[in-house]
A and B are shown apart, each in its own frame.
Chain A
Amino acid sequence: MAFDTYLLKRADFIFKNENDWEKILDRTLKLPPNEIINELMSSELKGRGGAGFPTGLKWKLTAEAPADEKFVICNADEGEPGTFKDREILTLVPYKVLTSMAVCAYVIGAKVGYIYLRGEYKYLVPELRKAIKEFEYFCNEVKHDFRIKLCLGSGAYICGEETALFESMEGKRGEPRNKPPYPTSVGFKQSPSVINNVETLAHTFTIFKYGAKKFYDLGVQYSRGSKLFSVSGDTPIPGIYELELGMSLQDFVNEFGDGDTKAVQVGGASGFLVPRKKFQETAIGYKGKLSGISLPTGGSMMLFNSSRSMYNVLDNYLEFFREESCGQCTPCRVGCQQLYNGIKAVKRGEKPTSYLDKLLKLTETMKLTAKCGLGQSVANSFSSIVENFREEMIY
């Protein structure tokens, strides 16, 4: 099968310490906004939070939205199980994120930016405040009128969903809104807002510094650039790695596995489980016209070796979802509970094994009718685990 993948290739942009951010900021702020947007568009950078919306287009739409007040928001509510890259970015290279926020503000015409940091990372606040202060001082120097505020979450995974995040910032329960309208026209305080993941903003810094072509030349068609991967589970070398997009899962496992990898969960609890027999035909990147299966991910890669029970894995994910569902819509609120209780009932023999098929149908309903990505994505891990490891669900 002709399969357009790279062998695993490492990259080293994000954590490279650049001590010239002031120069980059100054230089970029002198370009016309249009030019900056075009540069981003031609890099083909897509959102690194997992959804994969083209970043340049997001900035363009917000820039074009008519409004007096606009906002740039950095989504640092990293909560997907198995993901820890954004914390590392904010710890090691926060100025890259701040620089990109300032450029975004200039492009869209915002005066205020926000970082929404998950409560679990509260210990980062003092260092971040220091970085912001230093940064604002420099913005002042170059006469760029821009302030950054810090908002702290309080232990709610759903607040990583962009509209739930706005609700939370507005002092309410973090319940996702209906979409459309999208944040580019109606975001924080009903104003057009760019909301970008921490990693996405760190990549835009790379593009401002090295140019779009440098970024575009990494990765494969439809999945350009590099990406941070949070690697955990049964691996001798857990950690954070920057890799080019488009590698096959087999190459990934060859590099990070312990020689006994039976499955990899790509994209965390809301992602997909890939069993060993499909490693070769699975590529890591956004959905495109690659032959074979192409799996997007926010970066979470969890490896499981043959000592692990996939039933326990699924049980753990479902417990997570039933606790983190915001409860606003029935398919998700009730669905998560039913799935959680359902697999337990099958395991205990209280329900026939055909009950698993009913549960699979239920996940299909959730996918179609749940209001936001949380409820819709439960089907991903559920069906990929149940279909590939059905016997482990029963015995």
Chain B
Amino acid sequence: MNPVQDLIKSLAETHGRKRENLLPILQGVVEKEKYLSEYAMIEIARELELPSAEVYGTATFYSFLEHRKMGVYTIRVCKTITCSMKGKNQILEAIEEMLKISLGESTPDGKFSLLQTNCLGWCHKAPAMLINNDVYTELTPEKVREILKQYIQPTQN
């Protein structure tokens, strides 16, 4: 068995093989693999005995279940109204400049991907972004550069 098959098997074992367990399994694969490849979706379908079209149809409905390869860190900048009023564009520019990528792209080393997303529920501390599951709020271009630096060079202890 290859690593993806292993992963899917163990996820199915933890969550169960019923239809209602599909989402946690998809989420588990995205967490590890950073996306759902066509291969992974077919394997999930096999494991759960579902038509692969059903798996694909469900997976592509949710914006956090990526089916393009993402970086180790996916940055999602909120683009909804308050964040957009409070300088979301400057935040995006700062990130693009620092990582040398445009919105929707990943860095060549596969470390970062940059996306926009809808309201994160931090509008009172706008602008806000997510890096994987971690929330960063009240951003300024300087603050964003500081945050990214920590991701680029992990602090040594």
Give the B-binding residues of A (Cβ under 8 A): 78-84, 86-87, 118-123, 151-157, 168-174, 189, 230-234, 238-240, 269, 302, 308, 312-313, 316-317, 319-320, 323-324, 326
- Identify B119's interface contact among A82, A156, A238, CB under 8 A: A82
A240 (CB) vs chain B CBs: closest residue? B124
Q: Would you give 11 A-B contacts (Cβ < 8 Å), ordered by A? A: A81-B119, A120-B130, A151-B24, A153-B62, A172-B19, A173-B57, A189-B20, A308-B85, A312-B84, A320-B119, A323-B118
Say yes or no: is B156 at the interface (Cβ < 8 Å to chain A).
no
Interface centre among A121, A151, A233 (most CB of B within 10 A): A233
Whether A84 and B118, one on each chain, are in contact in the complex, defined by CB atoms closer than 8 angstroms, is no
Given that A152-B23, A324-B118 are known contacts, is A123 also in contact with B133, CB under 8 Å in the complex?
yes
Nearest CB of chain B from residue A27's CB, rounded to whole Å:
34
Q: Is the CB of B123 within 8 A of A156?
A: no
Instruction: Determine whether the beta carbon of A170 is less than 8 Å from that of B81.
Output: no
Chain B residue with the shortest CB-CB distance to A307: B85
Quote the shortest CB–CB distance from A74 to chain B (angstroms): 16
Cβ of B39 within 8 Å of any chain A Cβ, yes or no, is no
**A152, closest chain B residue (CB):** B27
B119 → chain A closest CB, angstroms: 4
Q: Cβ of B134 < 8 Å from any Cβ of A?
A: yes
Contact of A119 among B22, B64, B125, B135 (CB under 8 A): B64
Main secondary structure of the interface of A (DSSP, over half): mixed
Binary flags per residue of B133-146, CB closer than 8 Å to A gives 1, else 0: 11100000000000
Answer whether residue B14 sits at the interface, using C-beta atoms and an 8 A cutoff.
Answer: no
Establish whether residues B123 and A82, one from each chain, have CB atoms under 8 Å apart when the complex forms. Answer: yes
B107 at the interface (CB under 8 A from A): no
* Cα separation A84 to B119 with both chains bound (whole Å): 10
- Contact flags (1/0) for B96-131 with A, using CB distance below 8 Å? 000000000000000000000111111111100010
Given contacts A84-B122, A171-B23, A302-B81, 10 further A-B contacts (CB under 8 A): A83-B123, A123-B133, A123-B135, A156-B63, A171-B18, A172-B58, A232-B126, A238-B124, A320-B118, A324-B118
A84 to B125, CA, bound (A): 10
Count, chain B residues at interface, CB 8 A:
36
Complex contacts, A240 vs chain B, CB 8 Å:
124
Shortest beta-carbon distance, B45 to chain A, in Å? 12
Instruction: Return chain A residues, CB-CB under 8 Å to B119.
Output: 79-83, 320
Give me the 3 closest cross-chain CB pairs, A-B, nearest first: A171-B22, A155-B64, A238-B124
A276 to chain B, nearest CB (A): 18
Complex Cα–Cα for A118 and B84 (A): 21
CA distance A230 to B120 in the complex (A): 13
CB distance from A229 to the nearest CB of B (A): 11
B26, B85, B117 interface centre (most CB from chain A within 10 Å) = B85
Also in contact, A83 and B121, with CB within 8 A (given A122-B133, A155-B62): yes
- Check if B58 sits within 8 Å of A171, measured CB to CB: yes
Is there an interface contact between B121 and A170, defined as CB atoms closer than 8 Å? no
In Å, the complex CA distance between A326 and B57 comes to 12
Chain A residues positioned under 8 Å from B85 (CB to CB):
233-234, 308
Chain A residue numbers with a CB within 8 Å of B82 are 81-82, 232-233, 302
B5 within 8 A of A: no
Q: In the assembled complex, which residues on chain B have CB atoms less than 8 Å from the CB atom of A326?
A: 61
Of B22, B23, B121, the contact of A120 (CB 8 Å cutoff): B121
Instruction: Collect the chain A residues with CB atoms within 8 Å of residue B24's CB.
Output: 151-152
A298 CA to B151 CA, complexed, in Å: 37
Give chain B residues whose Cβ lies under 8 Å from the Cβ of A172.
19, 22, 58
Nearest to A80 among chain B residues (CB) is B119
B65 at the interface (CB under 8 A from A): yes
Residues of B within 8 A of A169 (CB): 20, 23
Closest to B48 in A: A171
Give the docked Cα–Cα distance between A231 and B125 (Å).
Answer: 11
User: Which of chain B's residues have a CB closer than 8 A to the CB of A157?
Assistant: 118
Which residue of the partner chain, among B57, B63, B125, contacts A154 with CB atoms under 8 Å? Answer: B63
